[in-house]
Amino acid sequence: MKYCYSIDIGGTSIKYSLFDLSGRLLRSWTLRTNRAENGKYIVSDIAITLLADMDSESIQKEELIGIGLGVAGTVTANGLVTVAPNLGWRNYPVREKLQQLTGIPVFVLNDANAAALGEYAALTEPVHSMVFITLGTGVGGGVIVDGNVIAGCQGAGGEIGHLHVEDRETQPCGCGGSGCLEQYSSATGVVRICRKFLLRDKEKRSVLHGQQELTARTIFDAWKDGDEVAAKSVECMASYLGKACAMVACVVDPDLFVLGGGVANAGAPLLAAVEHYFFKYAYAGCKNNRFQLAILGEDAGMYGAARFVLQNKNQ
């Protein structure tokens, strides 16, 4: 029997899973991420965990074709993590280190790219190209053409969240730039937009005025209940996202845009709003690009990192 491990390294937890070569999930478990001392224990923790699992499950090293690693950071094609702020890594050769400790081939990719691959593999209808956009605390993404992730020359491929969509922004983005999509269309972005509208439209009635804890969820709930300020906020975040997708279409013109992440739980109405603005800003030649919601939720990265091993095992 042949297997691969898939590991999704996040800032708070590490999700382990074992797959067979048909891409079927055999089991998965989660452990805490030890971020002490700039994440220097993470790779040895992973190696110890995997070797112990192989031992207890009687899996031989020869039965493992590889370990897929999804990392919340910027990853180059040769498995160097240039920056992973939540793990404390900087120019960290994670592929090399984990290979040395386990003796098993390691394949590393960015977590959003892994999620993109996972969602791609889960499509019921195959497409040639797909762009996945994850709307969470930030905005991430992955571009897939002909089944392969476009990681880019320094791992910035699919960094949809940092598309420059607004010249007049005065506040900085987390990346140091200004006017990035992430400042509007993430969970924190829509809250930021909404706070502005609440301040500006003080006289407007809104259930969101004076709300103790304003979150993306409360805003989307109020939107669905017909709240006017919430509606303006959602329209605004959707218009930037539609505009960004129109930009993406002028570059790779994908068959399909897939929206995932917590914010995408707002579902079909949000999808419709984004699609509306996409066609407003898109090049006239763009008529056939389709939009749909992601289906794997937080498991997308796990499935995608496994698929990445299966794709690259012969390299």
Q: Which residues bind a second copy (CB under 8 A)?
A: 74, 77, 82-83, 127-129, 143, 145-146, 148, 150-160, 162-164, 166-167, 175-177, 180, 243, 246-255, 281, 283-289
Rounded Cα distance, 81 and 92, in Å:
5
Cβ of residue 290: shortest distance to a second copy, in angstroms?
A: 9
Q: Where are the alpha helices (DSSP H) in 252-315?
A: 268-281, 300-312
Alpha-carbon Rg of the chain, whole angstroms? 20
164 vs 217, beta carbon nearer a second copy:
164
Cβ of residue 30: shortest distance to a second copy, in angstroms?
A: 28
Cβ of residue 188: shortest distance to a second copy, in angstroms?
A: 18
Cβ of residue 56: shortest distance to a second copy, in angstroms?
A: 39
51 vs 88, beta carbon nearer a second copy:
88
β-bridge pairing 129-135 and 81-84: unpaired
Rounded Cα distance, 265 and 90, in Å:
33
Cβ atoms 74, 155 nearer than 8 A: yes
Cβ of residue 220: shortest distance to a second copy, in angstroms?
A: 25
149 vs 266, beta carbon nearer a second copy:
149
268 vs 284, beta carbon nearer a second copy:
284
User: Count of H helices and E strands in the chain?
Assistant: 10, 13
β-bridge pairing 139-145 and 129-135: antiparallel
162 vs 307, beta carbon nearer a second copy:
162
Residue 179 tokens read as 């006017």
Rounded Cα distance, 175 and 161, in Å:
10
Q: Which amino acid is at 39?
A: G
166 vs 299, beta carbon nearer a second copy:
166
Cβ atoms 25, 13 nearer than 8 A: no
Cβ of residue 66: shortest distance to a second copy, in angstroms?
A: 21
